[in-house]
Amino acid sequence: MLVKYFEENSKRGMWGYTKGIFKMLWNKQKIHATIITDSGTEKRKAYMIVLANASKYGTGATINPNGKLDDGHFEVVVVRRLNFWELLKLLITHKPFNEDKVEIFSTTKLELTALKKGYFQVDGEYRGRTKKIKAQILPNCLKVIAPAEVEADNMA
């Protein structure tokens, strides 16, 4: 919902996100979801469910303090309680989450089914509303091309 409101807003940067946060808090809706992972099936009520492999959003806001790009897992971040101060902490202070409000668990695959369609974004782009999401880690599928190392003797 926040990304949708940000995209609709003429302001950019942190001011645009701040305006989006206030609008989101005013219109917030709970997600009733069934989450199937490597560990089993969980039912959760949340304001936001994030699938994250990295630890931060592109804006620098921490969303997944457990995130490691190369560990073969991604995290499911379940935001059970949502208020202005928790969002401010997330976006600005980068302090740890309150475990009573945010739950994080790791998996290699996920199937999420919600009772009603919810707002859905991928990598900062709003993609509409959906009731079902499937995700999984694809090991060794990213190829990186880098220059060969230069020996110290050739640098002189």
Q: What is the pLDDT of residues 129-146, one digit of tens each?
A: 889 999 999 988 878 888
Residue 128 lies in a domain: yes
Residue 52 lies in a domain: yes
Residue 71 lies in a domain: yes
Contact 25, 107 (CB under 8 A): no
Residue 150 lies in a domain: no
Burial class (CB in 10 A: 0-12, 13-18, 19+), 65: middle
pLDDT tens track for 96-108:
677 778 889 999 9
Residue 147 lies in a domain: no
CATH of the domain at 48: 2.60.200.40
Residue 142 lies in a domain: no
Cα angle for residues 94, 86, 131 (degrees, 5° grid): 105
Contact 92, 59 (CB under 8 A): no
Name which residue leads in pLDDT, 137 or 93: 137
Structural domain span for residue 81: 2-137
Contact 5, 19 (CB under 8 A): yes
Residue 103 lies in a domain: yes
Residue 47 lies in a domain: yes
Report the number of distinct structural domains present in the chain: 1
- What per-residue confidence (pLDDT) applies to 135? 94
Contact 82, 47 (CB under 8 A): yes
Q: What is the pTM of this model?
A: 0.70
